[in-house]
Amino acid sequence: MLLSTEFNTLKYQKNGCIGVFTRKFISAKISLFLARSDLTPTQITFFSLILALVGIYFLSTGDRINLIIAGIFIFWSKIFDAVDGELARLKNKVTELGGWIDGISDRFKENLLILGITLGLYNQTGNVMVWTYGFIAVISIHMLSIVLEHTGKMDKNILQRTHEETFFVKIARSLNIKPQYLALQADVYLFITYTLIILNQLELILWFYIIIMNLYWLIIVILVFHKKGKEELVLRLS
C-alpha cells in the first residue's frame, strides 16, 4: 500500500485551484480512511455515479429547495470522483480498466448534468428555447473531451508546450502562480456549475457552457494548430 506521506506528495500535482482545495481538505482524508477498508476504487466510482444521478434527479425538477439538495449531491459526487483515483493509488490498484470505467462515468455524468439543468430550467420557465440552449451547451462538453483526447493522441506534450507560451502563463509565472490554476479544468467548471445550481441560476449555467466552454475548446484548437504547424515547419526546414 502507498504510504500516506508518499500520497501527500503526489495528489495535487495536476489539479486546478479548486481541485487542490477540495482534495487537500476533503477527498484525501476520505481516501486515507477508506484505504483501511475492503472497498475497491471501482465501487467508489459507481457510488460517485449514484450520487450524481440522485442530484440530477432533484435538479431536473427545477424546485428551489431541490436545487440546493442537487448542488450538494453533485458536489459530493465530484469529491468521490477524486476519491476513486486516490484510493487506487493508495492500494496500488491502478488499472487501465478502472481508468476506462472512471472516464466513461465522468462523461456520462457531465452529459446528464446538462440535461438535468435544461429540464430544470424548462420546468421553471416552460420556455421551449431552453432545449436549444441545452443542445449547444452539451456540444461544449463533447468538443472539449474530443479536442483533449485527439490532441493527446497526436502529441501527448503539445498542450503543455502550447500552454507555456501563452501570455497568461508567463504572467502567472512572474507572480509565482502555478500555471494549471489558470486552466478551465473540470474541477473549476464543475465548481461553477454546482455553485450556480444552489443559487438557482440555471440559465446562467447554460450560457456559461454556450459561451465560455465553447470558446475554451476553440481557443485550444487554434493555439495547438498554430504551435504544431510552427514546429513541423521548423523540422522541414532543418
- Give the Cα separation of 138 and 173 in Å (integer): 33
What's the whole-model pTM score? 0.87
- The neighbour count for residue 157, using CB atoms within 10 Å, is 8
- The neighbour count for residue 135, using CB atoms within 10 Å, is 13
Q: What is the pLDDT along the chain (238 residues), one digit of tens a residue?
A: 544 544 554 455 556 778 777 877 899 899 999 999 999 999 999 999 999 999 999 999 999 999 999 999 999 999 999 999 889 888 888 888 888 999 899 999 999 999 999 999 999 999 999 999 999 999 999 999 999 889 988 988 888 788 777 766 667 677 676 766 667 788 889 999 999 999 999 999 999 999 999 999 999 999 899 888 888 888 888 7
Grid coordinates in use for 67?
Answer: 436545487
* Domain regions of the chain by residue span: 4-237
- Give the Cα separation of 28 and 55 in Å (integer): 23
How is 45-98 classified by DSSP, letter by letter? HHHHHHHHHHHHHHHHH--HHHHHHHHHHHHHHHHHHHHHHHHHHHTT---HHH
Per CATH, the homologous superfamily of domain 4-237 is CDP-alcohol phosphotransferase transmembrane (TM) domain (1.20.120.1760)
Residue type, 188: V
Per-residue burial over 209-225, b if 16 or more Cβ lie within 10 Å, else e, is: bbeebbebbeebeebbe
Residues 83/144, Cβ–Cβ less than 8 Å: no
Rg (CA), the chain: 19
